[in-house]
Amino acid sequence: MTERTHKDTAAKAEPTKRTPQPEQTPLPVAPSVENILMLQRLIGNQAVGRMLVSDLTSNILVRQPSRDAEVAPSKSLQTLTDPSSVSVSYSGIYKDILARNEKRAALLDFRVRLATVQRGEELSGGVAPSQEEIESLQMEIDQLDSRIRMSLTELGMDSEEQLRSVMEAKPKKEFASFIDNAAKYGMPVKFLRTVLANYHIKIINSGDDNVQPTLDTMSLSRDTMDTVENFSPLLPFGESAGIQTIFHESTHAYFDLESKDPNTAKIIETGQQHYKDAPLKMGKVADDPNRVFQEAAASYVGHRVVSWWQIFEMLSMAASGEIPSDAIAEWVEDAKKQYNEKMSRQIFGYQETGGFFGFGTSQTETTRALPDSLRIFLDTRLLEGKIPNEFEQVSGFQELVRQATQPAEAFQ
């Protein structure tokens, strides 16, 4: 990815040098609409500082609210965003790109008027710009556009792909480091790697962890990522919830990615059928079988991985001598009991119920167990057979038990 980015930039820079274009281009090729829309989407959706880009009449309007009074109108301009993203700061990639401009309102007004005039429509309540005004404001727009364009080129972000790769470098790196760490402890990470390679990853400073299939994006919260940073079985940093969340959300992402695969498509279809009219708690009935199916799958995976992890932690403590030797047998027995109990759970999944047009809803769990086809699929494909039902089936655990219970003289 990095290599390709560099190559593309060089290839683009070269023809400019060979073909000088004197004077003739005060209005060079505008930044491609695709780039601008991408920039807008990234900023709108991806929290890159208190800035906003809005595409108007194929030109670009950049808005960087600096006062509270400006934030609300800016929010209302965003068409593709979750409101939480506005207040989030991002480490300055766009500081150079999006120059502050005190005349934004004038520019916006001008662009709307200009576009109206150009389309030959009548201005309602507005005044058509004079030739002089057009020239002077057009010059400002050109300068702004060309600054943005230059900055994008300088940063190697003059294509959609490059822009994305720069924006996603850090979240991807953090997710990759989580995966490497999880792999080290023997957790099933193949499907996480599929998600890492093929899905957009965002880290959000506010709001809940979520997957947006329409945007091919998995958003993990800063909190989630912080708790799993360098997680280890002997350092109790409360990483359990983070592990559970990451595996849960990655399952949603994986199903989205694989939904075209015939085998997976069949699992999804069977699963949706299975949860059609399924009973929910409090005497309710499922009317959103796809959601119940999705949450059943994701919750099953998250539950099994985190349960495995918790027992792994218990055994690691015992094996590292943190448990008094006369308590070890009971400790191990407890770990075994807990593992088998946790893995016997077969009922997962929920959907939103109640409320009115999405307000005031709550999540109500189903009381129906997973369909066999789904359980087997998750156990083998996602969990790679690494998280079996019985404690005795986990070979790594047996090794830890052996270390925990072997006579102390073995170390002498």
Amino acid identity, position 226 = D
Judge whether 148 and 23 are in contact, CB under 8 Å: no
Q: Spell out a b/e string for 16-36, using b for 16 or more CB atoms within 10 Å of the CB, else e.
A: eeeeeeeeeeeeeebbeeebb
Single out the segment in contact with Zn ion by CB under 5 A; choices: 17-25, 43-51, 85-93, 289-297: 289-297
Strand partners, 350: 365
364: closest CA among 355, 373, 377?
A: 355
Single out the segment in contact with Zn ion by CB under 5 A; choices: 234-242, 290-298, 374-382, 391-399: 290-298
Write down the least CB distance from residue 176 to Zn ion, Å: 22
Q: Which residue is nearest to Zn ion (CB)?
A: 298
Write down the least CB distance from residue 299 to Zn ion, Å: 7
Write down the least CB distance from residue 189 to Zn ion, Å: 19
Q: For residue 317, what are its two tokens? A: 């403590």
Secondary structure percentages of the chain, helix, strand, coil, to 5: 60, 10, 30
- From residue 286, how far is each of 223, 270, 293, 302, 374 by CA, in Å? 32, 15, 10, 22, 18
Query: How crowded is the C-beta side of 57, counted as CA atoms within 13 Å?
Result: 14
370 binds Zn ion (CB under 5 A): no
Nearer to Zn ion, 248 or 386 (CB): 248
Single out the segment in contact with Zn ion by CB under 5 A; choices: 176-184, 221-229, 295-303, 350-358: 295-303
Spatial CB neighbours of 16, under 8 Å, sequence gap ≥ 6: none
Write down the least CB distance from residue 211 to Zn ion, Å: 7
Q: Rounded to an integer, what distance in angstroms lies between the CA atom of residue 180 and that of residue 153?
A: 33
Nearer to Zn ion, 220 or 298 (CB): 298
According to DSSP, the β-strands at 350-353 and 210-212 are unpaired
192: closest CA among 180, 203, 202, 184?
A: 180
Nearer to Zn ion, 44 or 371 (CB): 371
Nearer to Zn ion, 334 or 352 (CB): 352
Write down the least CB distance from residue 7 to Zn ion, Å: 39
Nearer to Zn ion, 206 or 212 (CB): 212
**179, 298, 318, 370: which one contacts Zn ion (CB under 5 A)?**
298
Q: Please, what sign has the CA dihedral across residues 363, 369, 372, 375?
A: positive
128: closest CA among 140, 142, 105, 112?
A: 112
Write down the least CB distance from residue 389 to Zn ion, Å: 23
Tell me the three state secondary structure of residue 220: strand
Size of the site for Zn ion (CB under 5 A): 2
Nearer to Zn ion, 162 or 299 (CB): 299
Single out the segment in contact with Zn ion by CB under 5 A; choices: 31-39, 127-135, 233-241, 292-300: 292-300
Judge whether 215 and 232 are in contact, CB under 8 Å: no
Write down the least CB distance from residue 292 to Zn ion, Å: 11
> Binders of Zn ion among 226-255, rule CB under 5 A?
none
Single out the segment in contact with Zn ion by CB under 5 A; choices: 181-189, 229-237, 297-305, 395-403: 297-305
Nearer to Zn ion, 78 or 245 (CB): 245
Single out the segment in contact with Zn ion by CB under 5 A; choices: 112-120, 176-184, 262-270, 298-306: 298-306
Nearer to Zn ion, 48 or 298 (CB): 298
336: closest CA among 325, 348, 344, 347?
A: 344
The footprint of Zn ion (CB under 5 A) covers 295, 298
